[in-house]
Structure 1
Amino acid sequence: MSLTLDEARARSAALSEISYDLALDVTSPDDFRSRAVIRFTTTGGGSFLELHRAESLDVTLDGTTITPAYDGKRIPLDELAPGKHEVVVDARLRYVTDGEGMHTFTDPVDGERYVGGYLGLDVTQRLFACFDQLDLKAPIALTVEADPTWTVLANGLPTGPGTFATTPPIACDLFVVAAGPYHSVRWEHAGIPMGWHARRSLAAELDRDADELRRITEACYDHYARIFTEPYPFDSYDQVFVPELNWGAQENPGCVTFNEFMLPRGRVTDDDRRRRAMVIAHEMSHMWFGDLVSPVWWEDAWLNESFADYMGFEVAETAVGYAGTRVSFEAVHKPGAYDADRRRSTHPVAPTGEDVPDVATATTIFDQISYGKGNAVVRQLVTWLGEQDFLTGVNAHLTRHRFGNATLEDLLSALDAASPRDVRGWAEVWLRRSGHDTIRVTRRDDGVPVLTRDGVRPHRFTVTAYTPDLEPVASRLIDLGDEPPTLPDWSGLIVVPNAHGETFARLDLDPQSRDALTLGLTRVPDPLVRSVLWPVLLDRDPLRLLAAQLPHEPSPTLITAALTRTRDHLIRRRLPAAEVPAALAVVAAACATTTEHDEQRAVALAKGLAWSTADTGLLRRWLSTDTTDAGLALDPDLRWTALCRLAELGGIDAPQIEAERDRDGTADGMLGALTALAARPTPAAKAEAWASMTEDPTVSVRRFRALAAGLWSPSQRPLVADYIPAYIAAASALAERGSAFAAEVGRAFPALALTDAELYQVRAALHPEVPTVLSRLWNDELDDRTP
């Protein structure tokens, strides 16, 4: 039962002045106590609270014990008189291991226990009884009973042991609590208490990176303090690396949670640092756009995510000093947004409320349209409007709706007042329509380049010209609309439109430009221009381009992006099994640069070689010496990549894998061992992995993911063929466990090319009862595998 738009509108119209007084007791390892005092005013009639699968339940209404017809999901509140009411819901609930509720985790390194409520759509009700919708924002007061030696973190500033200051009005899905023996680094900046926290067994990694994390935090804070007229709206700012978070990060007001992969145990590459800085900037921008001002309903989720994603990349690049962050967006994120915009599931960046009829549907729009495309569209808006007018409108919007909810129309009104341009006309073609334009380069008979547009959107972008030897000549910012601009002074030159990625449009280069760039891509000196071109050229002939250009590509970011796209979109989706070994050999040869002196580039190439090589002797040497043949030390991630590939090739047995797991000793090592064990090319290994995925009702999201990563292999089709129909048959029931688990089941789609008959089986299994999240992911897979 998913909350519908109609239900949310009716409840919002009836309720006001909501507040929560919440008490949690997490001292028991078996279950936890959740006691919520909910005060509200109503216009009268019936309403309901959400609470998911309480083990026990006591409810009082205005001091009188009641026995509501609780169905495991909702607590009906029938025939409420107009006026003020108080409901007390005292319940016990189970911990979860899927990240949706009060998550529990025991660290294998030291046996320490951590719990945390990491929320989101339809998840708050798994933690406490609430009116679980965006536009019923409320202050939350919190007390937590926990092990007295633990650190307890939440949205509000601590006021005593286990007690926290009442928050300003926030959407209840942004509540957070994280408790355990965390290692902390604390300080104060601009009068705001701040901190970074990580599991005790990651203390060395946090201390290693603490100065950098503090510098990024302060630089982001100072930048937002300059560009936003509204002050930082909360009383503290903690950032916590929490175990087994389903997202990359979560923008909880005053206490942001981060996935632990952003605190690597081994080598921290420049790409790691750029990504982490981008996410820190992204989440902090949410304190204003998303937390201070929240959407009314989920159709405007893009207002949160597109804005924050744009800010994350922009601020990391320009204000925090991580050059190359835009390169990663163009090469890593934007290509996936173009893919998403071609699928049947594409949707406008800003859909209407009726396009999102319930919360289950809303879970599917936190996708590459809302993030990657939305980011690009916001950047085009800033380019088109000018930054000053954009920020003037945004600031007016934030002030007008502070601690409240707002819609796209509210934002457009603010931008329209700040700019002389036709903002609503722009929004109609860019935000309300799905799909994207194509920018074409053609030539007149005299060789003069002409830019044309297939589509209806106005574009402003940089176009760059090069000599036939790919020496840069000139760049200029142009507007492309109905009238095709000609470039007579660039006759005979190589032309790259959208060279700096300011707009969101496919590129169709003229033959002269395309041929020259295919042969000499890595001679283009600007990595941002190459980041735009790599995906365009990869889509035409990926293996040929990799073989010719990857050994000469100086950017580790672009190396990793090209390898990942080739693996995920070609080898794991499209290539027949018979062609996979040859394709992997091309990838391995392109990565086998043994004279590399740039460590960052060497890491990117070594990771590609580790998953593509068929040379078991090479992998054994790496593992025995803990270095590559070129002398690069193996960090835990690279070591497990090599070990899993060796297992896939049949070069290591179970006892050796178990020894590696014991050698590692961490949660990541346990997951790496699961993948390696599942990857072995034996019927017994596949049967054991499949049983662990499907027969254990307590299997966690991360364990399921690790097992699936080893189960499927394009090189092992005969061995895994029988598990394809088994997966299709079992997936729907597995996905009923919750949206996070459903998403993982969908991502566990067989990572190899399927036959027409197998694709037909998937289509036939997509009956209306398939959970929404799974159905969306399956349909996307079907689209991605259709030429």
Structure 2
Amino acid sequence: MPGENLTRIEAQERRAIVDTTAYAVVLDLTTGPEVFRSTTTVTFTATAGASTFIDLIARTVHSVTLNGRALDAATVFADSRIQLDGLEAENTLVVDADALYTNTGEGLHRFVDPVDGEVYLYSQFEVPDSRRVFAAFEQPDLKATFQFTVTAPAAWKVISNSPTPEPVVDGDAATWTFEPTPRISSYITALIAGPYESTFSELTSASGRVIPLGVYARKSLWGFLDADYVFEKTRQGFAYYEEKFGVPYPFAKYDQLFVPEFNAGAMENAGAVTFTETYVFRSKVTDAIKERRVVTILHELAHMWFGDLVTMKWWNDLWLNESFAEWASTIATAEATEWTEAWTTFNAMEKTWAYRQDQLPSTHPVFAEITDLEDVQVNFDGITYAKGGSVLKQLAAWVGIDAFFAGVGAYFRKHQWSNTELRDLLVELEATSGRELTEWSKKWLETAGVNTLSPVIEEDESGVITRFAIAQTAPADYPTIRPHRLGVGFYQHKGGALVRVHHVELDVDGDLTEVPQLAGRARPDLVLLNDEDLAYAKIRLDERSLKTAIAHLADISDPLARSLVWGAAWDQTRDAEAAASDYVDLVLGNIGTETESTTIRTTLAQLLLAATAYVAPATREATRVRVADTLWELAQGAAAGSDSQLQFTTAFASAAATRTQHETVRALRDGVIALDGLEIDADLSWALLVSLAAGGLVTAADIDDALAADNTAKGAELAAQAKAALPDAASKQLAWDSLVGKADLPNTIVRSAALGFVHPAGRDLLDEFVAPYFENLLPIWGSRTYKIAEYLIAGLYPAPLANAALRDATQAWLTANADAPAALRRLVNENLAGVERALRVQARDAE
């Protein structure tokens, strides 16, 4: 039985039989807190006499009527499918069912605000969850128009893809009848309902149409939402994309809704984008988070063209959505907003993610082989987003940015409202650029793995370079050697700064590329491959450059160059080519003067990982203490009210390892110690409390008191994290039982509690959960929704142990469960890869 899965072959077979025309979906949201009534009418053509199925996940199916013929619901509905036999050339199907609300962020999510008891709903349908709300042919290449009719409490707002109509009120209820959408895929349809607050604006599209704009959030957060700023970034994005793509915005309106308990950053529902409430700032946040929100706003707006107007035929071309939106949102942020260093941020955050993902055993080509829905669920990863975006940046440099945009615009015009594959895009880019891209595509989009580029430098006795070359290597499992367009920068100390004194740009291909134009120059203090970050490749620093970086990285004036050096040092550490202790020295000696918020954010996270998992076990505790002490010194020395002050303070709280350090955390939270300009607001107070919980300085009752003072959804998440971080066996068991033994916690609580459970401060307590973890993998996979299963399998893995016993237990489970679902094995293999890497890096550090 297929369960809730769908294979690519099944989708292709169904598409050969069926072509959808229109859906009319009638939903009644007044039927109670567990179920809602869903009636779907689908019109579609088919091969006469053929059989197929339509997808539906529902508690009860009341009736199924095909072409006026009543089918026995008990017979035809099973295993998330309704069997349809005896199809005609023209068909009308009516399905009447009771569907279930969720608290997992999949389907129609129902949330009750603890602040005021108000109920809020929102849909999340990507990848396969529109079928949780209405009967659907759940695959992207069966597009149709969608017309929603929704009955809900009259006091609510109801938002969908089409402009919101005036409701017809009947007592306490009202009915909203929306106009049909254009022809779109089911996964980008949307329904958001509840007593949301809202504000509105408008803009004039390049087409001359006036596009209504809306921003929504729930009542208890509304006072924190800077809607005017959201509108401003939206207008900048509209103007940039319409000019560069040469195609006007394709939908009737554009609403942006900040919704509770969201699994992702945002979702590109056509004309009704949903965002995580993390982007509603109730407390001070770093510039990194502020910039990330802008990139996300522009990422989702780019999807209105990439993904919504033109959609992939099947999920192996998911990159046509995500890689393009990632690239487009970064270039738009850099060129159309005040965040002009967006490419530095992209290197520090996105490319770091891509390089890490591309070295896992689960790596895959950007153009991935997706055999079923479970495959695609785990492919929303650093390859599909960040590597794809990086490769597209290189492609734009390869063909020329003007030709690139021209080709993209032609692609939109040619394929609007339809579905495409990789070749469809390459055809247009070849036409506008004159370059043949088949070979480029094979090497960059259809093969996996990341190359490493290293300088080969020979010099004479006077320090003049006699030979300069660039060596390229590839991992044994993915041996593709690729062409790169990149720069080489020479940096020299001048006036107290490391400044670039020479730069060349060239094509690199093959195992070794000679660079004769650099011969005859004095060898500089630092040689930086991939200067200006055009290429997607790991880079190595030669020994002299690495020493310069450790001592003087802060002296590099260009933020992108600094980011590249930070990244190179981290890659060498992760690959066990440099000692983790040296990386700790590099960060502690240079991070205090770093100016780019995302670089600080990423580097501090890497510092904490190095200190807790990568340094040799014999020096781990001493390193943790030194890291925390230095971070506290940096927090005290940072400018009052600065971004760095906030980042160093929160990093210190996370790193605290001794009683004395935790007492400092307590004093800071209680106001006994104060840093000028640092407000202990709601979220920072919780971060400090989580640290105190992990250090054993507070009790569950203390956490309950904090929650009573901040009885909000965010407070509940952080309270769950703090309780799970308590460093005693009883608290760990209680957290485990709430997560594994029960299935009633909402998605964000599961995610937060798992984060607290594996807090490094409680490492010694995790040994007892290794065996239960593996015993529960198959039951969790078989009983939970995909997202909850992912949170539990990735989140509860006792990675902080980072020892051979955990590696061996993981390998044993994989050996004993060779026939486990491929997506589950992928998650476990990724866990294993992290431990194996940690052991290699620990061994290198111990040398």
Partner of 2:649: 606
**Is the Cα contact below 8 Å between 1:626 and 1:633 reproduced in 2?**
no
Shift of 1:578: 6.0
- Overall identity of the aligned pairs, in %: 33
Q: What is the one-letter code of the residue matched to 1:765? A: W
Unaligned runs of 5+ in 2: 168-175, 205-209, 474-480, 841-847
3-state SS in 2 of match to 1:513: helix
Shift of 1:309: 0.4
Between the aligned partners of 1:671 and 1:626, the Cα distance in structure 2 is 27
Of the three residues 520, 530, 533, the one matched with 2:565 is 533
Partner of 2:436: 422
Is 1:41 aligned with 2:49?
no
Q: 1:499 to 1:147 in 2, by over 3 A?
A: same
Shift of 1:319: 1.0
Q: 1:103 to 1:51 in 2, by over 3 A?
A: same
Matches within 5 A, 1:474-493: 474-482=502-510, 483-486=513-516, 487-488=518-519, 490-493=521-524
Of the three residues 791, 812, 816, the one matched with 1:744 is 791
Number of aligned residue pairs: give it: 780
Partner of 1:77: 84
Shift of 1:369: 0.7
Q: 1:546 to 1:17 in 2, by over 3 A?
A: closer
Of the three residues 198, 204, 213, the one matched with 2:230 is 213
Partner of 1:753: 801
Between the aligned partners of 1:635 and 1:751, the Cα distance in structure 2 is 31
Between the aligned partners of 1:41 and 1:632, the Cα distance in structure 2 is 64
- The superposition leaves residues 598-642 of structure 1 with CA deviations (integer Å, 9 ceiling, x where unpaired) of 511111111111111231221111211297444511233322111
Give the TM-score of the pair, scaled to structure 2: 0.89
Of the three residues 12, 15, 18, the one matched with 1:15 is 18
Between the aligned partners of 1:54 and 1:484, the Cα distance in structure 2 is 66
Q: What is the one-letter code of the residue matched to 1:747? A: A
Is 1:50 aligned with 2:50?
no
**Is the Cα contact below 8 Å between 2:361 and 2:830 reproduced in 1?**
yes
Between the aligned partners of 1:770 and 1:265, the Cα distance in structure 2 is 43
Is 1:543 aligned with 2:584?
yes
Q: What is the one-letter code of the residue matched to 1:753? A: L
- The superposition leaves residues 420-470 of structure 1 with CA deviations (integer Å, 9 ceiling, x where unpaired) of 222222111111111122221121233426231415322112322111562
Is 1:199 aligned with 2:203?
no
Of the three residues 446, 464, 470, the one matched with 2:489 is 464
Q: What is the one-letter code of the residue matched to 2:42? A: I
**Is the Cα contact below 8 Å between 2:459 and 2:523 reproduced in 1?**
no
Partner of 1:587: 627
Shift of 1:484: 2.0
Between the aligned partners of 1:701 and 1:249, the Cα distance in structure 2 is 15
Unaligned runs of 5+ in 1: none
Of the three residues 451, 468, 472, the one matched with 1:450 is 468
Between the aligned partners of 2:385 and 2:672, the Cα distance in structure 1 is 38
- The superposition leaves residues 485-512 of structure 1 with CA deviations (integer Å, 9 ceiling, x where unpaired) of 2313543112212122111011122222
Matches within 5 A, 1:130-141: 130-141=136-147
Q: What is the one-letter code of the residue matched to 1:547? A: L
Between the aligned partners of 2:192 and 2:819, the Cα distance in structure 1 is 35
3-state SS in 1 of match to 2:589: helix
**Is the Cα contact below 8 Å between 1:21 and 1:38 reproduced in 2?**
yes
**Is the Cα contact below 8 Å between 2:803 and 2:835 reproduced in 1?**
no
Of the three residues 552, 555, 571, the one matched with 1:523 is 555
Q: 1:562 to 1:586 in 2, by over 3 A?
A: farther
- The superposition leaves residues 53-76 of structure 1 with CA deviations (integer Å, 9 ceiling, x where unpaired) of 332331111122111421141000
Is 1:556 aligned with 2:604?
no
Between the aligned partners of 2:616 and 2:282, the Cα distance in structure 1 is 37
**Is the Cα contact below 8 Å between 2:323 and 2:388 reproduced in 1?**
yes
Shift of 1:322: 0.9
Q: What is the one-letter code of the residue matched to 1:65? A: A
Q: What is the one-letter code of the residue matched to 2:785? A: G
Q: What is the one-letter code of the residue matched to 2:26? A: A
Is 1:92 aligned with 2:106?
no
Q: What is the one-letter code of the residue matched to 1:96? A: T
**Is the Cα contact below 8 Å between 2:483 and 2:509 reproduced in 1?**
yes
Between the aligned partners of 1:216 and 1:604, the Cα distance in structure 2 is 25
- The superposition leaves residues 755-783 of structure 1 with CA deviations (integer Å, 9 ceiling, x where unpaired) of 32332222232324544443222211211
**Is the Cα contact below 8 Å between 1:62 and 1:87 reproduced in 2?**
yes
Between the aligned partners of 1:512 and 1:744, the Cα distance in structure 2 is 43
Matches within 5 A, 1:386-397: 386-397=400-411
Between the aligned partners of 1:6 and 1:30, the Cα distance in structure 2 is 34
**Is the Cα contact below 8 Å between 1:239 and 1:258 reproduced in 2?**
yes
Q: What is the one-letter code of the residue matched to 1:605? A: F
Shift of 1:713: 3.0
Between the aligned partners of 1:339 and 1:479, the Cα distance in structure 2 is 25
Q: 1:772 to 1:435 in 2, by over 3 A?
A: same
Deviates more, 1:71-80 or 1:54-63: 54-63
**Is the Cα contact below 8 Å between 2:55 and 2:80 reproduced in 1?**
yes
Q: What is the one-letter code of the residue matched to 1:76? A: Q
Of the three residues 709, 717, 733, the one matched with 1:687 is 733
- The superposition leaves residues 717-740 of structure 1 with CA deviations (integer Å, 9 ceiling, x where unpaired) of 332211121122113212331111
3-state SS in 2 of match to 1:745: helix
Give the TM-score of the pair, scaled to structure 1: 0.96
- The superposition leaves residues 692-714 of structure 1 with CA deviations (integer Å, 9 ceiling, x where unpaired) of 11122212221112221222233
Of the three residues 307, 315, 323, the one matched with 2:324 is 307
Partner of 1:495: 527
RMSD of aligned Cα (Å): 1.8
Partner of 1:435: 449
3-state SS in 2 of match to 1:59: strand
Q: What is the one-letter code of the residue matched to 2:592? A: P
**Is the Cα contact below 8 Å between 2:76 and 2:84 reproduced in 1?**
no
3-state SS in 2 of match to 1:179: strand
**Is the Cα contact below 8 Å between 1:571 and 1:752 reproduced in 2?**
no
Q: What is the one-letter code of the residue matched to 2:39? A: R
Between the aligned partners of 1:535 and 1:579, the Cα distance in structure 2 is 24
**Is the Cα contact below 8 Å between 1:310 and 1:375 reproduced in 2?**
yes
Shift of 1:529: 0.9
Between the aligned partners of 2:514 and 2:365, the Cα distance in structure 1 is 26
- The superposition leaves residues 24-69 of structure 1 with CA deviations (integer Å, 9 ceiling, x where unpaired) of 1112222111111010000130010000133233111112211142
3-state SS in 2 of match to 1:146: strand
Partner of 2:173: none
Of the three residues 52, 65, 68, the one matched with 1:63 is 68
Matches within 5 A, 1:325-344: 325-344=342-361
Q: 1:576 to 1:124 in 2, by over 3 A?
A: farther
